[in-house]
Structure formats: structure tokens, C-alpha cells
Chain A
Amino acid sequence: GQSLEQPSEVTAVEGAIVQINCTYQTSGFYGLSWYQQHDGGAPTFLSYNALDGLEETGRFSSFLSRSDSYGYLLLQELQMKDSASYFCAVRARSQGTALIFGKGTTLSVSS
């Protein structure tokens, strides 16, 4: 089967940098995605890594190491509006390329 591990909660202050880690076990791995979900809202797509390395999109970056089955989401210059849940998700042949999600990390940003 497949499994994903990510921390359940992270807290930080405005302006700080936070890293949310994700380790995964799956067969036929294609790539790792990150989604953001605000309370009461729908998950929205943030990033996707298929190859090793860092992908940067504005204040958010995502990293993947396929050999370590590990990735992270890096959020810089944190703002209050970044308070949300963040999910990593693997795209793998084992589930017909449907995304399998982690349990989510709740990020709380305080002033």
C-alpha cells in the first residue's frame, strides 16, 4: 500500500519561515503535490514536484528527494492568511495515478 507522514500541527509568527515535511511510501511513484485548505474551503493546488530539487512559486517553495522518499513545503514571509491546513499528496501508479493524500498539517500563524 501507500502511506504519507506529515506533522499534524505547526505554529509560527508573521514574517517567519516554516517548513512542512512529508515522507511517503508508495510503489510506482510519479510525483508529490501540495494543497492548501482554509477552514470551510476547498483544497487548492499549490505545487507539484516530479523531479528532485526545489520548485519556487513566490513565497512558497516545494522540494523533492525521490531517493529519500521525502519532500517539503517551505513558506516564507509568513502572513496571517497562510493559516490553513496543508496536505501533501502522491501521484503513483499503484492507485491509477489518483492522488493519495496525507492527513494534513495545520499551520497557525500568529502576530
Chain B
Amino acid sequence: DVKVTQSSRYLVKRTGEKVFLECVQDMDHENMFWYRQDPGLGLRLIYFSYDVKMKEKGDIPEGYSVSREKKERFSLILESASTNQTSMYLCASRVGPTNYGYTFGSGTRLTVV
């Protein structure tokens, strides 16, 4: 089975800190995605990547950046954390653009205080 591993289950950070959320998949998937999930808003796409060193903005990229230096790892960066970035962050991967099934990680619940 494909595994998507997010490095932290819970994180508490201070306003203004630079925050790194890490995601690793073990099945050589080309495509990786970051979503945030908030009650009543569903999953919203932040950034995605179709290959190493490639990135595309999703619907809500403001305040975030990403890094994909290796195929298996996709990092989400909060440049200067703010309280409105308190959320559940979900990473997902899929084989390629014509494949429709995502595998999600367990999520990182980030609290910015």
C-alpha cells in the first residue's frame, strides 16, 4: 500500500514563525498536493506539484510556499505564521495526472498562537 507520511500530527507555533510541514510518499508518485481543511469549508487546495522542482498555485496560496527537491518529499512552508493559518493540513499524492485516486496522509493539525 502507498504510504503518505506527514512528519507531525500536532504542531503549535507562534505568530511570525517560519513553519515547515513535511510530507513523504513511498511509491514514486509524480504528483503531490497540499490542502487545508477547515470546518464547513471542506478541503481547499494550497499548492501542488507535478514533478521535482515544479510547483503550481492552488486556490489559496497566499502566505504559503512549497519545495519539492526530491520526488518523494513535498514541503509546505508558512513564511510567517499567522493565527488564520491555524488549520488541519493534508498532504496527498497520486501516480500521475491521468490517475484520479489520491492517497492522503493523516494530516497535521497546526495551531498558531
The range of chain B's interface size is 20 to 34
Q: Is B45 within 8 A of A33, CB to CB? A: no
Instruction: Select which of B33, B41, B103, B105 is within 8 A of A98 by beta carbon.
Output: B33
Q: Is B100 within 8 A of A31, CB to CB? A: yes
In chain A, positions 2-35 with a C-beta closer than 8 Å to chain B are 8, 30-31, 33, 35
In chain B, positions 38-87 with a C-beta closer than 8 Å to chain A are 40-45, 48, 50, 56, 58-59
Q: Is B106 within 8 A of A42, CB to CB? A: yes
Q: Is B42 within 8 A of A104, CB to CB? A: yes
> CA A100 – CA B58 in complex, angstroms?
9
> CA A48 – CA B8 in complex, angstroms?
30
Taking the complex as formed, is A71 at the interface, i.e. its CB lies under 8 A from any CB of chain B?
A: no
Q: Is A97 within 8 A of B45, CB to CB? A: no
What is the interface of chain B, defined by CB distance below 8 A to chain A? 33, 35, 40-45, 48, 50, 56, 58-59, 90, 92, 97-98, 100-107
Instruction: Select which of A8, A35, A42, A97 is within 8 A of B105 by beta carbon.
Output: A42
Q: Is A103 within 8 A of B50, CB to CB? A: no
Residues on A with beta carbons closer than 8 Å to the beta carbon of B104: 42-44
Q: Is B102 within 8 A of A45, CB to CB? A: yes
Closest chain A residue, CB of each to CB of B94? A99
**Other than the known A33-B101, A42-B104, what 6 A-B pairs have Cβ atoms closer than 8 Å?**
A31-B100, A35-B102, A42-B90, A50-B100, A96-B56, A96-B97
Q: A43-B90, A87-B42, A104-B42 are in contact. Are A99 and B58 (CB under 8 A)?
A: no
CB of A41, distance to nearest CB on chain B (Å): 7
